[in-house]
Chains A and B, each alone.
Chain A
Amino acid sequence: MQPYRCLMKGWAAALILMAVVVLASPAARGAEQLTYRLKWLFNTSAVGDLYAVAHGDFADAGLDVTVKAGGPERDAIKELELGQAQFGVASADQVIRAMGKGSPVVVIAQLFQENPLQWIYRQSDPPIVQLADLRGRTIGITYGGNDETIMRTLLAKGGLTDRDVKLFSVRYDYTPFYQGKVDLWPVYRNTQGIVIGRKMAANGDPVQFFIPSDFGVKFVANSVVTSRQMAQERPDTVRRFIQALLKGWTAALDPNQSDMVLTMLQDYDKDTPRDELQAQLDVTRDLVQPQSGEPIGIIDTDAWMQTEEIMYNQKQIIKKVNVAGALMPGFAFGQ
């Protein structure tokens, strides 16, 4: 009899535990279920997105958000159309290209105010103080990538052509840069830039960065997108989502919370040492926070229009798409 009673007690305890877990879940509390597709893998560039989940900002807004990592073959805008995600992160070139092909995408916040895509080069090389200084250098670009568009714009702005520089097709392997075969290599300043910069510095070869916006080229990077249908039919959900997300970003970039944020980041990015994550977080803060003192997530309309102009001039789109019409900061900031 005794073993039978113990077994029954065990089952009862398990059932109660399951009921508590189920009833406490956001879905059971009537939270709206949403999917948010990132542009890249879980790393420091998504620190605010991850913080909003980990810290319960979405749950507080009555949302049950699943954040999914992105990758080279992922495209959040396509997933919005296919109904696989309700929100996503996309760069401006993706948004403009999609609009050029009739995709009903809208932008509800701009996460990075400064594009993290920059070029790394050795401090021992002559500094690039004007675009003409690029002449004669071997420059890495990803053919078809937005770094190609940015670099070609910079070259055109500096009155240079393909013949004045040597363009080198880059992939994930940095060996040609380490070997000195390539002078400038495109990197994400806040992630790869830190890793490569540290390796080079450790070998007595410190680096510096060539920043396109210093030369007037502002090509917008990661922004939060949703579908026009979502914005029109579920404005309250969009508002709650973006406000919770930006709350997460603001808290994640607060220097006073660094320790807690780094501990959280380490759960997602186990391969990067803590001190490296710290350096990445510091740079991310500079790239995300607007210099003007405006809140995180503000949409720089002029930069978007310039990005469209660049893509049109580079024949990336065959006609202008009026990107300003797709910018909807009102959900985030109640304008």
Chain B
Amino acid sequence: MLPRRIYQFFIIYALGLALLLGIKYALNLSNYVIPGPAEIWTTAQEEYRRYFSDVMNTMSVAIVGQVLSICLAGFIGIVGRQTTWLGSFVKVAAYNVQAYPIVALAPIIFILLGDGFISRLLIAAMICYFPLLLSVLGIMSEPVQDIEHFYRVTGRMRWQLEVKIRAFENIGKLTTVVAGSATLAMAGTIVAEFIAANAGIGYSIRIALYQSDLGKILVALFLIGISLSVYQGLLEWLGAAIRKAWESQ
């Protein structure tokens, strides 16, 4: 699973790069607009250590943000699954928070919380949590009639059991969504760094943009992509292991 993700990423990156270079040579563009292969290679050699460290910095924030958003989405999904007034209120509140574009909220967050770790974490979690929430809400609102019926008629149904049944029956969907949300968590952290933080790969990309240095940006994109592929591969592996463990019980 992991090796496949990595080589698939290499294919996608190579295709993207080939397209860019194709445009460069077809339109006879200078290295200022699109750098040539030699310049990209030189930039990679010069910057990969620093950029890799930046990507790890960003990824650490993204992972914590993702865990936070999983907890948040799980909590809201479980509360919001109910057809009660509170359930519907929680859903409306969650949807409304998501309606505000994060780039409009981010400056307020940075003014209130500064441009350090907490702001990046919060923005990563905010961007990542909504797709998770939709999936959790969808799964938790859908009764598994065949199994739940038995517990209901015997009077043994409790909310914890209901959540467990629905999670177990949809574990495949849940692990896929969690793995997918890693991309959003990473994107959220990079957006936060791009807007106002002073660390991470998003901040480095911003500096490269100031200098119109597409070579640096391409190197950064490669490192982001490869790191994310490895992380997602690991999440998928973890999901499969959890599924196997549950099924064997």
Contacts and interface: CB of A to CB of B under 8 A. Distances in A.
A270 interface: no
Nearest to B107: A173
Contacts of B35: 101
B176 interface: no
B212 A97 contact: yes
A252 to B, nearest CB: 29
Interface in A46-85: 72-73, 75, 77-78, 81-82
B107 A101 contact: no
B111 interface: yes
A172 interface: yes
B107 A75 contact: no
A140 to B, nearest CB: 12
Interface residues of B, number: 22
B27 A82 contact: yes
Interface stretch (A8-16, A142-150, A184-192, A238-246): A142-150
Nearest to A318: B42
- Residue with the greatest number of chain A CB neighbours at <10 A, chosen from B29, B195, B208, B211: B211
Interface string A98-118: 101111100000000000000
Interface residues of A, number: 25
Contacts of A237: none
B210 A81 contact: no
A234 interface: no
Interface in B191-246: 195-196, 198, 206-212
Interface string A137-159: 00000111100000000000000
A104 B105 CA distance: 41
Contacts of A169: 115, 198
Nearest to A142: B210
A163 interface: no
Given A172-B107, A175-B111, A81 B206 contact: no
B154 interface: no
B31 A171 contact: no
A94 interface: yes
Given A171-B196, A173-B196, A81 B33 contact: yes
A78 B111 contact: no
A312 to B, nearest CB: 15
B212 A78 contact: yes
A103 B33 contact: yes
A143 B115 CA distance: 15
Contacts of B210: 142, 144-145
9 contacts: A73-B209, A77-B212, A81-B27, A81-B29, A101-B31, A101-B39, A144-B210, A171-B196, A172-B107
In the A-B complex, the 9 residue pairs with the smallest Cβ-Cβ separation, listed nearest first, are A144-B207, A144-B210, A101-B32, A101-B31, A103-B32, A102-B30, A103-B30, A98-B32, A169-B198
Interface of A: 72-73, 75, 77-78, 81-82, 94, 97-98, 100-104, 142-145, 169, 171-173, 175, 316
